[in-house]
Structure 1
């Protein structure tokens, strides 16, 4: 506590010194350009003496303004506003004349009319400096929002808000269970607010994703109860000849439509809910920065309304703009430091990436947090918000890098701010923290083996391979979010991709291969007939963990190194089980994905190092998620202790659909049986034997 007090005092002192310095330089500049204003004796002074005179004059003016001005304002409260506005200039000029006369030993001289101009310019310069420094100060921002919360809260309480508690679901995108535990341990944890919650008011547990461990699959199920037929972050659909990419507005809208049609339920937030910064709306009427509605055009595009509402406040715009520039410079410096230290693994972080990162870590964060605070002050029943800052930085810096530690600290301050605002809300609030997936470290497939997955597939098919391996674009979520925020069209059109050559796509360390000229799903036998070396090339590569293909004779078959096979329908294993390194739950996860109508012809998962949980992403990411292996499949759920445990018998949570049922139950516990419940609240069907084993750590490795 004492250290924090001294740190705050030091920060305040530095801000005072900065304002003083700017005011002194302003005085020197004005003395150089205004003929009736000087800071030197009649015979002239040295530069040092002139600078000292400017510093003394600026200091005296600032001190008099701080001490005398509040008393003058109080004395002039009865003066009409227009008259007071005119008096401000003359009073400031008078204060400047007094300051010059008292502190500069006769060197400062000015006519009264020039003193008015000098005082006005100095006040503007010092005010701008103070604003610049204040908007970079989290404590000042917190106090401002809390004051706003107090005013709105009093008005809402006067309207007699509901007695039942509201619920805020705050998704910390990409933070795995192990990362959160490490960030909340020790004498000085990275996330002190969350650490206090774990020690006192909240309970922490991991849960396990499906095979597709990425935001699209997890959040669609969390908000809408189903991620059926969502095999990866992006995939090819043969009937249309186009790609579905989870974070594109048109794709997100279609995926949400399919989920609602499948469950018959609008979503988790359909009853007085708000969705902020998500891919999907969850059925909420209040949405901002939601990708599934960003495709709407015209005046009624509510997805971008959150930006307009936030930036209409000049203080918000100033704070976020300054923070945005600072984060761009921070990323440039961090990338340079990484190169100078020759850190490995490493990916390129130039081009537009510093801007994309700052958008995710600053703009989206600030807008989402402000929207959540507003929802709480409005007394909404349920709020679900996604903070993507950590996920974006971890893709390019690594899940446990010092760069991500800084992001975790800032996210903790956001959580503290939301918790503080809850105290002023018209109803009590329960805050549930959760993540949609984790991240697994590791060098990219291209960096480790010198070729991309597309190159490997082409080589196995006997097709020409480029002499120099190209790069697979990153699927990081923030790029499409920035496009939607600016009202820009989606990425390059995928068009109709029907043709003879295979289509190779990547979703973290999960690869998908489709043969567009083959109707339906190609069989293992047909692949062997067309491309005799392909399956052996893929399964035998040291960077490939396993390959899923459907056999006409045996059904779904998982192929691995050294001729290992796992026949999923009958459980028959030939040689070494390719799924064994990925935990006993891997077979159930792969079997479930195999029955999706849009599963790719070949599904490829990279190898995973058992000791470190490292994988090799098929995209340009050194922190990745999308497949099996390592911490990516192990996100967390942190809930208030007064809520019922996620599962009664202690078995681990498996799949985002099951977590959706838990979130539904917690809403019913808060609001009773009167909360509308849709058809999507039924427990999703899973095949026999797909339930996890008795120990959470046994579900997936890492």
Structure 2
């Protein structure tokens, strides 16, 4: 053995001894502090024998966690992630009881409840000690990364020369708008990102489709088509079901439709990995992918990422403790917001603290660990979604201090991934992007005292909730509906028509941020404006004239589709030019100009979807404040048009071509043009993969979609500190 190897082995042995010694001292300290935990030899007197017992216990516990824990976690892969996280403490405590039972020189005794506490503390201390030793020794840290990478390369039959083309990591910061990222970098909230902008990366704004939400954007980015995705949730008349993009069955169906439409398996079909996403992108390696979660058997290994992370008990304990801390943080922050009387504000009780903790701790930790594993084995294309900011911004506001703290932690995760890239077997280009932004504002119900469903029912002459009846806005809506109904009936009588409206089913009212969808389920086809008014003469005018509504989209037998606004404005959607006196000299582009550039084109595109709702409702948008009114309980929302929600970002390395380059097929056009729509972002990302990998990664769809494989176990690295 060479001198260098002897030195390496000596350092490794020293680290083991130090960790063992610290664990022994920790066990002795806990035995002194906790009355239900005792470490005594048979005579119960000798301090030396008690110390030997503690050393035996610490050593046995360390061996059990290294040998037994991975097997137990693998056996529990089918357990939901949140349940698995809660089982961490119980499993760790059981291993401690077993370790004490194995001590040959006098058995320690511990109450089962206390065993959980002791095991958690010991795992955390051992992990902190091991990490501190590795961090202090940069050479040891690099060697550990290199060993992991070399081991995986040998298993894949690679020579490890590292001379191959670079890989690409796409990190999606869910819900982080262009302006939010820019401000966070300027204010020092995200120092890693700030160091990239202008130095190694270029920051580009792009514009979403009308449906500014993860389902539509990520489907377009990963699979090249988000056709017929009008919102986050919508009613489909042909099947009679409500599609919700974050449900496994709906996500699987949307992915199937996109593949069928494009003939393409997705962005990640060439040695790709999909982590924490709604859709697979055609990747072979899957973890926490929603569209695959509904599948059963070996074909579904979307939870394999949990094993890669929780197989290290120190990671499991650290994440569980962070989970509890995040729940406490949310309770504290929401309590302070109530005491301060912050406005706008939504309810943050119930299960929300636990949902937030899952998104900001467990999902983040598992996804980052999965990305690290992918890089260490040298995968070609990796796409991962970090949802933490989006979840917090919905309830605390996109510009709140709560959301800013989440951005700080995300920046540290980005820094970790960048550090790992320095030790990966191949070079990596890291691209940051988002799927949409968020727009702030009081909820529709908070501003007007009634929900969109209440307003629709009032316009239809149907009963509404008592709270809505008592509200000023509800009374105005009922009066306006009554006036409109009487006016419509007078017109019908004057024309010789029946005075009674046509019967019909109650409408289905769905909300996607500040975008509302109203459908009549008894009609097999999309109802026209004329048909809606025959059924409910007051409905459209009630909606269009409400101060919280920006505009409506409805079909029309006379004019094609129409945009309806306050004051009786009716603008044909298909005519961008001035339409003359018949429509008040208005054009749809001018009417929707306040909602941002390209708003009319986005509405036209959605109008052509087979499953567009009978009535599409976009809330009011105030350009001066950037505020919208969500039809859901969210003070930071996205889903429709108006403000920062439609303005996500791309942060790409300078050695990749500009996203706005006109030199590639499917590019936006002339240099400097705006990048519009998730489908165009898909083509940009494909172009970048080809620039990195060469012509074997096509820009257009291949002849046939590549079948999706199964996820596999990811490499572990206990020195990673996911924060």
**Which range, TM-score by smaller chain?**
0.7 to 0.9
**Deviation, structure 1 residue 584:** 3.6
**Deviation, structure 1 residue 361:** 0.8
Partner of 2:95: none
Partner of 1:526: 531
- The question of whether the paired residues in 2 share the 8 Å contact of 1:135 and 1:141 is answered with no
Q: Deviations over 1:493-548 (max 9, x none)?
A: xxxxx971100000000000001112211111111121111111001001000000
- The question of whether the paired residues in 2 share the 8 Å contact of 1:172 and 1:390 is answered with yes
The equivalences for 1:319-338 within 5 A come to: 319-338=318-337
**Deviation, structure 1 residue 355:** 1.1
Q: Does 1:566 align with 2:565?
A: no
- The question of whether the paired residues in 1 share the 8 Å contact of 2:508 and 2:519 is answered with yes
Distance 2:133 2:533 in 1: 63
Give the secondary-structure state (helix, strand or coil) at the position aligned to 2:286.
Answer: strand
Report the more deviating stretch, 170-179 or 671-680: 671-680
**Deviation, structure 1 residue 114:** 13
**Deviation, structure 1 residue 316:** 2.1
Give the secondary-structure state (helix, strand or coil) at the position aligned to 1:383.
Answer: strand
Distance 1:457 1:126 in 2: 58
**Deviation, structure 1 residue 160:** 3.5
**Deviation, structure 1 residue 322:** 1.3
Describe the shift of the 1:154–1:517 C-alpha distance in structure 2 as closer, same or farther (beyond 3 A): same
**Deviation, structure 1 residue 196:** 0.7
Partner of 1:302: 301
Give the secondary-structure state (helix, strand or coil) at the position aligned to 2:627.
Answer: coil
Q: Deviations over 1:86-113 (max 9, x none)?
A: xxxxxxxxxxxxxxxxxxxxxxxxxxx9
TM-align CA RMSD: 3.6
Q: Does 1:547 align with 2:539?
A: no
Q: Deviations over 1:449-489 (max 9, x none)?
A: 1100000000001111111359xxxxxxxxxxxxxxxxxxx
Describe the shift of the 1:313–1:282 C-alpha distance in structure 2 as closer, same or farther (beyond 3 A): same
Q: Does 1:437 align with 2:428?
A: no
Q: Deviations over 1:565-620 (max 9, x none)?
A: 22111234534654131124111110110011110000000001111211010011
Q: Deviations over 1:24-82 (max 9, x none)?
A: 5643667998797689xxxxxxxxxxxxxx9xx9xxx99xx99xx9xxx9xxxxxxx9x
Q: Does 1:537 align with 2:539?
A: no
Partner of 1:669: 691
Report the TM-score when normalising by structure 1.
0.75
Describe the shift of the 1:436–1:356 C-alpha distance in structure 2 as closer, same or farther (beyond 3 A): same
- The question of whether the paired residues in 1 share the 8 Å contact of 2:173 and 2:387 is answered with yes
Partner of 1:105: none
Describe the shift of the 1:138–1:652 C-alpha distance in structure 2 as closer, same or farther (beyond 3 A): farther
Distance 1:226 1:551 in 2: 27
Distance 1:557 1:234 in 2: 22
Distance 1:381 1:339 in 2: 48
Given candidates 626, 646, 649, the residue that maps to 1:633 is: 646
Give the secondary-structure state (helix, strand or coil) at the position aligned to 1:459.
Answer: helix
Describe the shift of the 1:534–1:334 C-alpha distance in structure 2 as closer, same or farther (beyond 3 A): same
**Deviation, structure 1 residue 142:** 9.3
Q: Which runs of 5+ in 1 are unaligned?
A: 1-15, 40-53, 74-80, 82-112, 471-497, 682-702
Partner of 1:150: 146
Distance 1:114 1:131 in 2: 22
Partner of 2:124: 132
- The question of whether the paired residues in 2 share the 8 Å contact of 1:368 and 1:385 is answered with yes
Describe the shift of the 1:136–1:401 C-alpha distance in structure 2 as closer, same or farther (beyond 3 A): farther
Describe the shift of the 1:398–1:554 C-alpha distance in structure 2 as closer, same or farther (beyond 3 A): same
Describe the shift of the 1:192–1:214 C-alpha distance in structure 2 as closer, same or farther (beyond 3 A): same
Distance 1:114 1:383 in 2: 49
Given candidates 677, 681, 690, the residue that maps to 1:659 is: 681
Q: Which runs of 5+ in 2 are unaligned?
A: 1-20, 64-102, 470-502, 662-670, 704-723
Distance 2:424 2:435 in 1: 27
Describe the shift of the 1:319–1:565 C-alpha distance in structure 2 as closer, same or farther (beyond 3 A): same
Describe the shift of the 1:466–1:377 C-alpha distance in structure 2 as closer, same or farther (beyond 3 A): same
Distance 1:415 1:145 in 2: 18
Distance 2:220 2:118 in 1: 52
Q: How many residue pairs end up in the alignment? A: 575
Partner of 1:78: none
Describe the shift of the 1:466–1:37 C-alpha distance in structure 2 as closer, same or farther (beyond 3 A): same
Distance 2:36 2:659 in 1: 70
Partner of 2:233: 234
Partner of 1:180: 181
The equivalences for 1:179-578 within 5 A come to: 179-186=180-187, 189-468=188-467, 500-571=505-576, 572=578, 574-575=583-584, 578=591
Distance 2:30 2:296 in 1: 49
Describe the shift of the 1:499–1:128 C-alpha distance in structure 2 as closer, same or farther (beyond 3 A): same
Describe the shift of the 1:127–1:600 C-alpha distance in structure 2 as closer, same or farther (beyond 3 A): closer
Give the secondary-structure state (helix, strand or coil) at the position aligned to 2:294.
Answer: coil
**Deviation, structure 1 residue 18:** 13
Q: Does 1:582 align with 2:581?
A: no
Report the TM-score when normalising by structure 2.
0.73
Distance 1:147 1:503 in 2: 60
**Deviation, structure 1 residue 625:** 0.3
